[in-house]
A = this chain, B = another copy of it.
Amino acid sequence: MKRAKKTTVKVERKILDRDEAFAARNRKFLAEAGVFCLNMISSPGSGKTTILTMTIGELKGRIRVAVIEGDIQTDLDARKIRQAGVKAVQINTRGGCHLSAEQVDRALKKMSLERLDLLFIENVGNLVCPAVFELGEGGKVAVLSVAEGDDKPAKYPEIFATSAVLLINKIDMIGTGAVDFDIEKVKREVRRLNKKISIFEVSAKTGEGFDGWCEWLAGQVKKIR
C-alpha cells in the first residue's frame, strides 16, 4: 500500500491510525471472550479455503471454530466453509484489496464469540496489501503454495517477516514433477527474515502435515483460555 508521495503517506497514516483503533478494539473483544484469532494471508489460489476446510475437519469435537471470509466479491468461499460444518461470516470488500479492522469489527458483532475457541479470518487473496493492516488478530498465517515458486520470500518479504506461521501448501505437487521448488531454501530465507516463525509443510489435498499444524493450533488455544 505504501507510495512515495509525502501527502499520500500522511493520508495513509490517518487511515492506519483509524484502523489501528478498530484493531485494538477487536483484540480486546477477542481476548475478553478467550478466542484465539488468526489472519490468513496469501496470493490468490494458494489454498487458504481448502486448508481451512481440512483444518475444521481435523479439529471437529476438540476445538470450536468459526471463519470470517474476506473476498472482493462472491460468497463461494463462505459456502465451502459452511459445508464443512462451521459458521462463516462473509465480508465483500467490493474492490478493496485487503480487509480492514472496521469490517472485521462489524463481522464480530454477528458472531457468538462466547461459543468459540478459534477464529480464522481469511483475508482477500493478495500477498502485498493485507500484510500491513492489523485486524486485531493474535497472529498472521502466511500461506505459500509450491506452485508459486521459491523466490517469493525474497520478492515479498513483509508478510513472511511478520507472520507467526508459514504454511507451505500443495507439497503433494512436488512428487509429481510438476513444480521445481526448493523447500529448504524457502525455509532458510523465511527464518532469516523471521526467527520466531513456525513453519509447517502441508497438503490440503491429501492431509499430509496437518497433524503438526493442528497441534500448534490446539497449543495456542490452550494458552489463551
Q: What residues of chain B lie closer than 8 Å to A223, measured between beta carbons? A: none
Q: Once bound together, how far apart are the Cα atoms of A149 and B74, in whole Å?
A: 15
Interface of A: prevailing SS: loop
Partner pick for A3 among B2, B96, B124, CB 8 A cutoff: B96
A147, CB-defined interface residue at 8 Å: yes
- Give the docked Cα–Cα distance between A205 and B31 (Å): 49
- Given A45-B43, A97-B97, A71:B147 Cβ within 8 A: no
Q: Does residue A183 face the partner (Cβ distance < 8 Å to B)?
A: no
A129 & B97 in contact (Cβ 8 Å cutoff): yes
CA A5 to CA B103, docked complex, whole Å: 12
A156 interface residue per 8 A CB criterion = yes
Size bracket, chain A contacts: 35 or more
Contact mask A6-44 → B, CB, 8 Å, 1/0? 001001000100000000000000000000000000011
Complex: how many Å from CA A11 to CA B1? 14
Oligomer copy total: 2
Contact yes or no, A156 B125, CB < 8 A = yes
Q: Kindly state whether residue A172 has any CB partner on chain B within 8 Å.
A: yes
CA distance A154 to B71 in the complex (A): 11
Expressed in whole angstroms, the Cα–Cα distance for A74 and B158 within the complex equals 13
In the assembly, what is the distance between CA of A94 and CA of B3, in Å? Answer: 8
Cross-chain contact A72 with B128 (CB below 8 angstroms): yes
* Among A53-61, A108-116, A173-181, A212-220, the stretch in contact with B: A173-181
Given contacts A11-B11, A128-B97, A147-B170, are A154 and B76 in contact (CB under 8 A)? yes
What are 27 A-B pairs with beta-carbon distances under 8 A? A2-B94, A2-B95, A2-B96, A4-B96, A11-B11, A43-B43, A43-B45, A43-B125, A45-B145, A45-B148, A45-B149, A71-B155, A72-B128, A72-B157, A72-B158, A73-B155, A73-B157, A97-B129, A124-B128, A125-B156, A126-B127, A128-B129, A129-B129, A147-B148, A173-B179, A176-B176, A178-B178
